[in-house]
Chains A and B, each alone.
Chain A
Amino acid sequence: MTKITSLADLRRIKSDVEVKMNLRERSESPESMVQIRVAMATCGIASGAKIVMDYLVNELDKRNIPAVVTQTGCMGYCYAEPTIEVTRPGQQPIVFGYVDSKKADQIIEKYIKNGELLEGIIPVNYENIEGK
């Protein structure tokens, strides 16, 4: 018989995550997390933003990079969707356009891990998404 995921599985995951969180709290502060916001308005969704968000959530976890990936509304760069805003700890946010899984991989390896800039950055003409 096929096993069906249940809340008992969630309780096991919770215990596992709590152990990892305790280890992390001893070595890193919450401010050390990379913050990523994926623009998820009609333009972004139709261009593949959901695939990009799935990829980022999975890959950052696999590569043990502490990060929070969330959705946001339209940033106004519909021509360059999917767009994501990446904030490295202690740095100003940078918006990348035309992001697909390949580009997201480069952003993780080059910018998030090493701070190297790469093609596809949308010039900053706003302070943040809400303030635009």
Chain B
Amino acid sequence: MKDLALHILDILQNSVTAGASLVQLSIEEKPSADKYIVRISDNGKGMSEEMLQQVTDPFFTTRNTRKVGLGLPLLKQNAERTGGSLQIISKQGKGTEVTATFIYSHIDRLPTGDIPGILALTASSYTEIEFIYKHQTPEGIFVFDTTEIKETLEGVPISNPQVIAFMKDFIRDNLAAIKAS
């Protein structure tokens, strides 16, 4: 994966496949603690203890279309390359939480990539799922919630191209505003 946003897009797909109705992405930038923490949590079907032990094995997958499952192993590898870690907590019937911790100052920390783009495309694809994105920096916090977007749209589809473009700009502008403050 070229950047962090593509990893997040990949893990969001796991939440969708798990039947989640609410998916939350949280990013915490903590330069003072030298940490960059990405957390994706969902209320999907969760995993058994046995499956949880296997999910970071690249030769384990729940799919029958192929023999490998590389999403979580690649994220783990990239987090560990910076001196960070990957933690997965899951309970069957409750949901899953994936936390990737990167060392903020490490030269191998992946570029952030197009997080506004991947969120807009995912929210527009899975219209029945609510997505919440919280991004915290030392300067402030930004929260994007598709429930608020859908309420404002009053029935206009979130998959409309103009709405997708709006969501990208909305996230991008507000993140930039926080960082500039």
Contacts and interface: CB of A to CB of B under 8 A. Distances in A.
A7 interface: yes
A57 B121 contact: yes
A73 interface: yes
A45 B161 contact: no
Contact of A10 (B65, B69, B149, B161): B149
Main secondary structure of the interface of A (DSSP, over half): helix
A14 interface: yes
A71 interface: yes
Interface string A39-71: 011110110001001100110110000001111
Interface of A: 2-7, 9-11, 13-14, 16-18, 21, 40-43, 45-46, 50, 53-54, 57-58, 60-61, 68-71, 73-76, 78, 132
Given A41-B13, A50-B6, A71-B126, 7 more contacts: A2-B173, A4-B174, A18-B156, A50-B118, A50-B121, A70-B125, A71-B122
Interface of B: 1, 6, 9-10, 13, 16-17, 63, 65-66, 69-71, 74, 114, 117-118, 121-122, 124-126, 148-149, 152-154, 156, 159-164, 166, 169-170, 172-174, 177
